Amino acid sequence: MSRRARYGVVGAACCATVILLFVAGHGGACAVQRFGIDQDTKKYGRSMDPEFCAALNERISSYDASCGSQLETADCG
């Protein structure tokens, strides 16, 4: 493979990587937040701590607003 062709392949790979990272980072933030909320919901189910529940509900509300979701909040009662 010639040097010019090698530079073309490397350049195309770099551009594709940047585009994929941008797309994944933009959409992936909601997925990461959702995973954290799911994990914290399980923790709350074990602890039943009202303060933890209130903080979890704040995170859920923030997630719903930023990610266009409608997750159900935890029952802190």
Helix, strand, coil shares of the chain as percentages rounded to 5?
Answer: 80, 0, 20
Dump the DSSP string for 2-17. -HHHHHHHHHHHHHHH
Domains of the chain, by residue range, sit at: 3-67
Residue 7: the pLDDT is 77
Q: Take residue 66 and report the two structure tokens written for it.
A: 């930023």
Confidence of residue 8 (pLDDT cuts 50, 70, 90): confident
Task: Tell me the pLDDT tens digit for each residue of 16-74.
Answer: 777 666 666 656 788 889 999 999 999 999 999 999 999 999 999 999 999 988 999 99
Residue 21: the pLDDT is 66
Residue 24: the pLDDT is 60
pTM for the full model?
Answer: 0.63
